[in-house]
Amino acid sequence: MSQFEISKKSQCCGGEDFDYDGGKKFGEKCIKVPEVIGRNSCQTLVECVIPFPEQYPAVEIKDIHKEVRDLIVHVCKNKVLINGVLHKNINYKTYEGKSDFYYCYQKYDSYYGDVRHVAVNIPFACFIEVPGACPGDDFEIEYAGAEDSCEIDILEDPICEKGPVTQYRKLREKVIVKIDLKVLRHIQITVKPEKCNICP
């Protein structure tokens, strides 16, 4: 084997054995492993006004399910740019009519209605500073979601009608979206596997 052939095979990776001096095998392997360049997080305020269907205004918000979707990530020099969508599914109560009833000769005011929902997708954008990051590096999202401990829901635009409850046409919501991310870069290292009693 010529010197050129030995050098060429010594540089190959992906689990190939290295050859040195006449084909003598040392069992060394060149493998690629991910190296963590850095990790960081960002928080961004997402605020929106959500209208309810005209024929079904809201009386009360029952619950709101939130999910971060469709993340698009670009790794730049020392920064990571992120675009995404905050999906909200809002369950709320409506008013349809009164239904007074009597119990023990006493009148009780009562009303009835349905539970309906409105779904909306709200785009957002943020960036994370990661010193040492370069274009072409990989990334891994460790967490992406809305902070339930910090959100504000305000019913707005009340309907001026007489009735036992107030109905609203809009919901203003403010919520903080948090994203934790780490930047990875694949590097080549040389290892020499050794057999042990644990490994077959």
pLDDT in tens, 5-52: 333 333 344 444 444 444 445 567 787 888 888 899 999 999 999 999
> What pLDDT does residue 113 have?
86
Q: What is the C-alpha to C-alpha distance for residues 162 and 148, in angstroms, rounded to an integer? A: 35
> What pLDDT does residue 20 have?
45
What token pair was written down for 80? 């990571």
User: Which residues, listed in sequence order, are joined to residue 117 by a DSSP beta bridge?
Assistant: 91
> What pLDDT does residue 130 have?
92
pLDDT in tens, 111-147: 788 899 999 999 999 999 999 999 988 999 999 999 8
Q: Which residues of 23-51 are buried (b: 16+ CB within 10 A; e: fewer)?
A: eeeeeebbeeeeeebbebeeebebeeebe
Q: What is the C-alpha to C-alpha distance for residues 152 and 92, in angstroms, rounded to an integer? A: 16
* DSSP 8-class letter at 53: P
